[in-house]
Amino acid sequence: MEHYLNTPLEKKDIMKLDVGDIVYLTGTVLTARDEAHKRILEMAEKGEKLPFDLDSAVIYHCGPLMKKNNDGWKVIAAGPTTSGRMSGMTPELLKRYNVRALIGKGGMNKVADSMKDKCIYLAYTGGCAALAVESIKKVSQVYWLDMGMPEAVWELEVENFGPLIVGIDAKGKDLYSEVSEHAREAFLNL
List pLDDT tens digits, range 81-129.
999 999 999 999 999 999 999 999 988 988 999 999 999 999 998 777 7
Q: Which amino acid is at 50?
A: L
Q: How far apart are the first and last CA of the chain?
A: 34
Long-range CB contact pairs, 47-51, < 8 A, 24+: 51/143, 51/144
Catalytic residue from among 3, 37, 61, 182: 37
- Any catalytic annotation for residue 182? no
Q: Which residues of the chain have pLDDT under 70?
A: 176-190
What's the predicted TM-score (pTM) here?
A: 0.93
β partners of residue 28: 157
Distance CA 25, CA 96 (A): 24
Please give the pLDDT value at position 109. 87
Domains recognised in the chain with CATH numbers: 2-188 (3.20.130.10)
